[in-house]
Amino acid sequence: MVTKGMLIGKYELGRTLGEGNSAKVKFATDIFSGESFAVKIIDKSRITRINVSFQIKREIRTLKVLKHPNIVRLHEVLASKTKIYMVLECVTGGDLFDRIVSKGKLSETKGRKMFQQLIDGISYCHNKGVFHRDLKLENVLLDAKGNIKITDFGLSALPQHFREDGLLHTTCGSPNYVAPEVLANNGYDGAASDIWSCGVILYVILTGCLPFDDTNLAVLCRKIFKGDPPIPRWISPGAKTMIKRMLDPNPVTRITIAGIKANDWFRHDYAPLNYSDEDDDASSIQEDTFEEEKRSDSPTVINAFQLIGMSSFLDLSGFFEKEKVSERQIRFMSNRLAIDLLENIETIFKEFGFYVQKKHTKLKAIQEEITRKGQDGLSITAEVFEISPSLNVVELRKSHGDSSLYKQLYERILNELGTSSQVQDLST
């Protein structure tokens, strides 16, 4: 048999369908059956360099047991010395994000059908002990018939990732879709946080816009914690109630999957899929040939804000309205009260010999003695953005001055007040 493209096993590779930080997806054809597939090609050296190899292993391990019509199917995994090849179901209709951007919101009838499929897929995942944790429009694909296929399980959580308190503790996901309890960093229920993200998706499907959005990260987080998005007038009472119940900021009172499936609005024209799960004997994820996942306290754990920073085409500078990209900035999150943060930062500034001016939630520290001699003194601004009483974002900005001293200062502040996994260091 004569082939034109590169062969990987029995698969002939064709055009590139997409490309990301650590992988490239190509169209592929089974040279014997003629069936179409999508092959995700992962460079081993690349994923090791950016510390995401554990995500790839987790995605493969998870997809091996998820066999549902509304979840992208993993058919097999091949490997060479330098590459990993994930042979996936080929989904040709693009993702839900592109669908909404190009054609706008869906009618309530079409939107509900899509939402029913989303809930069916997520319900199946939860029954298997899998919690997605990164549900968003871009991770919901559409096949040629308009049916949804959930994809990208690289941040999913499995039963072994729960701590002794029965909760998950890794802050991950995409900011506009992430549940408030995930941001609060005090532990969360994986099922409840997935339901919140599904609520955001339902809102976008029916309105064409995000329920919580702002260029300022602190303002965005406040909106998420409040959990009261504006509901357009054209949304029916049933759909409005569903959105409100799913975007309940309290995970304890938030509607459950069972509650969603019992809801009259959801059940309208609902036809549960009858399918045969080929892996019924695997009730949960089992260990495979990959080495054990890193513990949740590993320094390579990725949170929502670091995920954004990993994407070269996304600029973090827009998250804070007053941010100037010509300045060096550090920002981190803290569970301490805002007043305590300000007092501690002021104390550290003074210990370093700075003159401190205070106004509301903002401090300005100046090296007064050096400035009097006409030298280029160090000037720093510290500001606290309160998201909730127990969660704050701290931003340190250097206007000018000695970079080495500034580094000593921010390292001292981070060590005493911050959480290392939540730091963003923006340098220009």
Q: Does residue 134 carry a catalytic annotation?
A: yes
**Measured between alpha carbons, how far is 172 from 201 in angstroms, rounded to an integer?**
17
Task: Compute the residue count for the chain.
Answer: 428
Cα of 188 vs its chain's centroid, Å: 15
CA distance 248 to 180: 9
Q: What residues have CB less than 8 Å from 241, skipping those under 6 apart?
A: 263, 265
Residue 389, SS3 per DSSP = coil
Tokens 């599904």 correspond to what residue? 198
Inter-CA distances, 272 with 112, 124, 147, 277, 397, Å: 13, 12, 13, 14, 54
Chain center to CA of 127: 22
Q: Which of 95, 120, 134, 194 is catalytic?
A: 134
Report H helices in 174-232: 180-184, 190-207, 217-226
Q: What residues contact residue 166 under an 8 Å CB cut-off, 6+ apart?
A: none
Token reading at 343: 């007092």
> The tokens 């590779």 sit on which residue?
13
- 261 labelled binding-site residue: no
Instruction: Tell me how far apart the alpha carbons of residues 368 and 190 are, in angstroms, rounded to a whole number.
Output: 51
Residue 97 in tokens: 């994000």
**Cβ neighbour number for residue 55 with a 10 Å cutoff:** 21
Q: Which residues are catalytic?
A: 134
Give the annotated binding-site residues for ATP.
40
Numbered residues of the known binding site: 40
